[in-house]
Amino acid sequence: MRAPHRVLLLVFADFQLLDATGPADVFAAVDEHLPAAARPAYRLEAISPDGGLVRSSTGLELYTGALPGPQQAAGCTVLVAGGHGVQTAMQKGEIARWLAQVAPYAARCASVCTGAFLLAQAGLLEGRPVVTHWRYAELLQRLFPRLQVMHDALFVRDEKFYSSAGVTAGMDLCLSLLEEDHGRDLSLRVARGLVMYLRRPGGQRQFSTELLAQQTTPGGQMERLVEWLRERLEQALDVEVMAARMAMSSRTLHRHCQSEMGMTPAKLLLELRLERACQLLEAGEASLKRVAQHAGFGSEYNLRRAFVQALGVTPGEYRQRFCR
């Protein structure tokens, strides 16, 4: 009988509850699809620097054990939650020091959302592709310039190091880990049992124009800008053209866009063009050249570069995965 694989769910004060409980439910659900002799497939352990009850950002508390020694964690999967308390956890430094010691012994080290900041602080992600919640991607890149921060993918893997975007993307990551351990069929059965969306591999976008629309103030200037841009993505557009349309200076447009949407006007335009390209690829658009033109990238080279930087996959790979 094979021993269960240990999964250490690492949390800290003011962590995001679903960053830990979501992955825990994915791993726990495996046993429903295995014969009795093969159960349990995973042994879940919540851990924290001090052990005991740890309060999440929701106010609910999770009982945890203390951080095990490096050799005690040998062969396990370490999954670091994110949450509002990550800044305090970084200031204390204890988690980063422990991760640096444990990583050589662990089978896998992974993060959900802003948990990537702690893996980065431990020096484990330098030179690697990394994902976090889209809202914190620029900050992660600024604090750790040697990382290859991918601003829009759901999750990425580099050797035994994994990172995922915000909250529910951690469950997508864990389904991928299940597939590594037990095969695609079991992973899909677990996803169906949890009523999860099945077509979310790592290269799919974590952000969409639907979310962009929800961020804008109804009837506000940025909503009008988004609507205007959507109708003209094939045209040659830049910040100056956008500012002139809104009867603003480039500096004023930048300020409004950052304040209302949390991104620069150039980033907004790129998001809209990426979304248009994804829609065309998912619909089975035959020519990458046409996709590039209709989405406003101009050339296949520009389209490919934008996809690889944002999603970690080429347009052709994206079409192969998600074409309806």
Pair of tokens at residue 270: 């790129």
Give the chain's radius of gyration (CA, Å).
Answer: 21
Q: Is the pLDDT of residue 26 over 90?
A: yes
Contact predicate 291/280, CB 8 Å: yes
Contact predicate 116/132, CB 8 Å: yes
**What is residue 145's predicted lDDT score, i.e. its pLDDT?**
96
Residue 312's nearest CA partner among 204, 173, 203, 207 is 203
Q: How confident is the model at residue 285 (pLDDT cuts 50, 70, 90)?
A: low
Q: Is the pLDDT of residue 244 over 70?
A: yes
Q: What is the mean pLDDT of the chain?
A: 88
pTM here? Answer: 0.69
**What is residue 198's predicted lDDT score, i.e. its pLDDT?**
45
Residue 318's nearest CA partner among 137, 158, 152 is 152
Q: Is the pLDDT of residue 84 over 50?
A: yes
Q: What is the DSSP letter of 45?
A: E
- Mean pLDDT value across residues 226-236: 92
**What is residue 125's predicted lDDT score, i.e. its pLDDT?**
97
- Give the percent of the chain with pLDDT over 70: 90
Instruction: Give the pLDDT confidence of 29-52 residue by residue, as tens digits.
Output: 999 999 998 999 999 999 999 999
- Mean pLDDT value across residues 8-31: 96
What residue has token string 């998600």? 322
**What is residue 14's predicted lDDT score, i.e. its pLDDT?**
97
Residue with the larger pLDDT of the pair 206 and 141: 141
Q: Mind listing the domains of the chain with CATH numbers?
A: 5-193 (3.40.50.880), 209-322 (1.10.10.60)
Q: Is the pLDDT of residue 211 over 50?
A: no
Instruction: Give the pLDDT confidence of 139-183 residue by residue, as tens digits.
Output: 999 999 999 998 777 888 999 999 998 778 899 899 889 989 999
**What is residue 169's predicted lDDT score, i.e. its pLDDT?**
86
Task: Locate all alpha helices (DSSP H) within the chain, ordered by sequence.
Answer: 17-28, 86-92, 94-102, 115-121, 137-143, 169-182, 184-193, 209-215, 221-230, 239-245, 250-261, 265-282, 288-295, 300-311, 315-322
Q: Among 2-11, 187-196, 241-250, where is mean pLDDT lowest?
A: 187-196
CB under 8 Å to 128, separation ≥6 — which residues?
147, 148, 158, 159, 161
